Structure 1
Amino acid sequence: MGARILKRIIYILPIIGVICFTGLVIYGYSKGIFHSVESLQNFIKQFGEYAVFIFIFLQILQVIVPILPGGISTVVGMLMFGNIQGLLYSYVGLIIGEIIVYWLARYYGKSFARLILTKKRYLKFEKMLDRPEKGIKRLMMLTLLVPFAPDDLACLVAGLAELPFKEYMKILLIFKFWSVATYGYAILFLFNRFLIH
């Protein structure tokens, strides 16, 4: 019964995240927070040194339980801390999150995947598991290189398919930054184009 309730909470969190994000954007825009990058950064500075740690923690959580659609949280970091620093903080948080996912998948197996994935995504996930080790490596590289591809699924598969942790980390550290930067700059362009004047 507890697992069923937890699963429902995990499914509802992304919806709540989108609603909260939309509400924050509307509120921020009406208060002038999003009128310029400087006004947004001044707003964030109110949280002091804790803002960085809160953001990194949210990025770690984002990997395990996606609260916002992919890329949005990275853009928030870029707007808060500047493009380069925001990307680096995002990258660090996501890497830590992907390491946790790998070990959770390794330890709990398919039951962990069933808990965090919808039925549709779980079916995709099971198909990915049938690949040999070389195929898992290629899958990880491909999903990390192609914008908006399901790289979180590939990382989950790597944990369950028993891809050696050393190999997993090599691929993740090299290709994840490209993925984060591509998402971030694409969504930042749209954000700048339509919200910030």
Structure 2
Amino acid sequence: MSTADALVKQPPRPAVRADRPAVDAPRCDPLRIAARFSPLLGLVVSIGLVWWGWQAGVLRSLENLLAFIDGLGAWGPIAFLMVSIASVIFPVIPGGLLVVAGPVLFGPLEGTLYNYLAVCSGSFVNFAIGRQVGLGLIERMFSPRAVEKALGWTRSPHFTRVFATAIALPVAPDDLLCYLTGTTRMRWRTYLLIILTCKPWSLIAYGLGVSALLVKFVPW
């Protein structure tokens, strides 16, 4: 028997039509697209609100803005809390802007309290989402580079200490880190204790500090 006869002949492969998409072609992910464009949407909405506030006279002076907030009554703090909580869960509007706005709109004590309630509530929701849904959803919401960098922190043997330090500092990626912490073995009571005791320091340093500088040096 010749070598050619010993070879097993393979059946001819069917031709692939040019107008037929490949089976393994990556599909568009609506959540990833929405997460990528959400900051742009938040910027457009913010610009629109600023334009409206200027045209209506609300933003022409700090006195006008405070009078507008007082005119809303109880709805002013409620709306601020809802928007602030949403900004922690869905990073559409930069949360740092709202943290600064709290003491300006409601005073140092009351504004910081509203910031504390909103940020802590949103952080609890982020942890619950990470624990129930897992890493797959988080990777679709945030950039792969940011997720991989934050995951490096979660792999540290001293992650509890690292997480507490990051929450106390006003420069850490809190929202993403809270999501990813839900995928670790950290207990709920440990997480709650860290958020409740460490978060005020970053809010005081960033919210009160920046808002005080704005009120003092910005001619408004």
State if a TM-score over 0.5 links the two structures: yes
Letter in 2 for 1:106: R
Letter in 1 for 2:112: L
Say whether the 8 Å CA contact 2:54–2:60 is kept in structure 1. yes
Say whether the 8 Å CA contact 1:148–1:183 is kept in structure 2. no
Equivalent position of 2:166 in the other structure = 143
**What's the offset of the Cα at 1:165?**
0.6
TM-score w.r.t. the length of structure 2 is: 0.77
List structure 1 runs of 4+ shifted beyond 6 angstroms.
none
Question: Which protein is bigger by CA-based radius of gyration?
Answer: 2
State the distance in 2 between where 1:152 and 1:122 align.
11
State the distance in 2 between where 1:3 and 1:98 align.
29
**What's the offset of the Cα at 1:105?**
0.3
Unaligned runs of at least 5 residues, structure 1: none
How many residues align structurally?
Answer: 195
**What's the offset of the Cα at 1:92?**
0.5
Q: 1:114 aligns with which of 139, 149, 152?
A: 139
TM-score w.r.t. the length of structure 1 is: 0.85
Equivalent position of 1:173 in the other structure = 196
State the distance in 2 between where 1:52 and 1:3 align.
39
State the distance in 1 between where 2:117 and 2:28 align.
30
- Would you tell me which structure has more helix in proportion to its own residues? 1
Equivalent position of 2:113 in the other structure = 88
C-alpha RMSD of matched pairs (Å): 2.5
Give 1:7-156 correspondences, 5 Å limit.
Answer: 7-29=32-54, 32-132=57-157, 135-156=158-179
Change in CA separation of 1:24 and 1:186 when aligned onto 2, cut-off 3 Å: farther
Say whether the 8 Å CA contact 2:126–2:179 is kept in structure 1. yes
Unaligned runs of at least 5 residues, structure 2: 1-25
Post-superposition CA distance 1:135-183 (Å, at most 9, x none): 2211222112222222223322321112011011111100111112222
SS at match of 1:71: helix
* More off after superposition, 91-100 vs 108-117: 108-117
**What's the offset of the Cα at 1:112?**
2.3
Letter in 2 for 1:168: Y
